[in-house]
Amino acid sequence: MAKKARRGRPPGSKNKKKKAGRVAKAGNYAKMEVGQLRDYIDSLQGVLAKKVSEQRTYFEAQLAQLGDYVSKKATGVVKAVTPGKGRAGKRAKPKPKYQSKKNRSLKWTGRGMLPTWMREEMKGTRLKKDDFLIK
């Protein structure tokens, strides 16, 4: 039976990956003099300040782009919400289409449920809804 091909480094290889963030062994710092340590700390602080400023400029640029995007969306929302645009005022009330045969002051627009006065007038007679139309 054939052996499976292994992925990665073969066992026992010498070229192992170096761990990021490790500059030197702890024993080397203990052997350093105070002046050397101070210089090393100062250089690290400079690198750190440089990295922080790079990150700040990157995130400020991202925030500016996001602000532009949000402002464009917000103007669209404001245009949609403002009452001055679109239909002005309220709709006019619909005119009545039907009128009672017995009481001329009872009128109905034809919207919604059938009024009780019309139902009662139609009950027991051959009147239909069309008979109550206003001419």
CB 110 within 8 A of CB 97: yes
- % of the chain beyond a pLDDT of 90: 50
Exposed/middle/buried for residue 132 (C-beta within 10 Å: 0-12, 13-18, 19+): buried
Region of residue 121 (left: phi > 0; alpha: psi -120 to 50; beta: else): alpha
pTM confidence score: 0.36
Tens of pLDDT, residue by residue over 70-94, are 777 777 776 666 665 556 678 899 9
Exposed/middle/buried for residue 117 (C-beta within 10 Å: 0-12, 13-18, 19+): middle
